[in-house]
Amino acid sequence: MLEVKDMVVAYGRVNAVKGISFTVEEGQIVTLLGTNGAGKSTTLRAVSGLLKLVSGEIWFQGARLDGTPAHRVVELGIAQSPEGRRLFRQMTVEDNLKLGAYSRRDTAAIRSDMDRVYDLFPVLGSRRSEPAGLFSGGEQQMLAIGRAMMSRPKLLMLDEPSMGLSPIMTQTIMKTIRDLQADGVTILLVEQNAQAALSLADRGYVLEVGQIMFSDTGRNLLGDDRVKLTYLGAD
């Protein structure tokens, strides 16, 4: 579904991503692991069209994706819930969700998708006309994911959805991700919480300073000594 080939992305003259390749198959959950500065968010921003590639290619559903303006990428079926949630804090929950559906015209279906988000996260439904900035970190994360779902993406990219959340809230978010997969959404997940991410993932890629060090199935990576040492904090 998504194929990234030898992608190089730079901020100014510094290459943040130095020639990475990976694929996401339809219906899978794929996770990118790595420490701060490994290039995970940069990768997602490049796929979304917010950053230009220095070299390399991105393919989505058999068509070349790189060079497509960001708003077109959304129309093609790729949504992103960005790092740090980036909600429109002064706007209400409802307005945030409406903006998530900005690329769509089917008003009735938008309404029912919105109700679905409220079913999934009841706290959002009961406080739908309050500004997003008033919600707790976990609730804001729910809204960020809900907002990304509102474009009815084929591929949903989540950048550190568990950041700053309690273990219980992290579990809720991870369960939501699994439910989305069951609904047929393909997911590219960037996480620092390797344990949680790998338990979900069909496949994982480990990034370090802009390069992919190794990749394997989620299950194998959970048992991998190198991963254990660096990301799982076990000896």
Partner 1 sequence: MLDLFFQQLINGLSLGALYALIAVGYTVVYGIVQLINFAHGEIFMVGAFGAFATWMLLGQPTDWGVSASLLILLPLMLLGGIVVSVTVALLTERFAYRPLRNAPRLAPLITAIGVSVFLQEFVRLFYGRIPGFPDAKSAIPFPSVAGISGEIVRIGSVTIQMPALFTIVALAISTLFLWFFVNRSKTGRAMVATSQDPDTARLMGINVDKVIVAAFAVGAGLAAIAGVAHGLNYGNIDFRMGFLAGLKAFTAAVLGGIGNINGAVVGGLVLGVVEAMATTFIPGQFGSSAWKDVWAFALLILVLVFRPQGLLGAKVVDRA
At 234, list the tokens. Answer: 């076990």
Closest to partner 1 by CB, 86 vs 226, is: 86
Contact positions toward partner 1, by CB under 8 A?
48-50, 69-71, 74-75, 79-80, 82, 84, 86, 88-91, 95, 98-100, 102-103, 133, 147, 151
Closest to partner 1 by CB, 3 vs 95, is: 95
Closest to partner 1 by CB, 81 vs 215, is: 81
Rounded to whole angstroms, the Cα distance separating 26 from 225 reads 29
CB 40 to partner 1: min, Å: 16
CB 92 to partner 1: min, Å: 11
In degrees and rounded to multiples of 5, residue 180 shows phi and psi of: -65, -40
Q: Cβ atoms within 10 A of the Cβ of 134, count?
A: 12
Which 3 state secondary structure label does DSSP give 17?
A: strand
CB 96 to partner 1: min, Å: 9
Q: Cβ atoms within 10 A of the Cβ of 219, count?
A: 14
CB 206 to partner 1: min, Å: 26
Residue with tokens 């960005």: 82
Closest to partner 1 by CB, 91 vs 213, is: 91
> Which residues lie closer than 8 Å to 46 by C-beta, 6 or more apart?
7, 9, 17, 52, 53, 58, 66
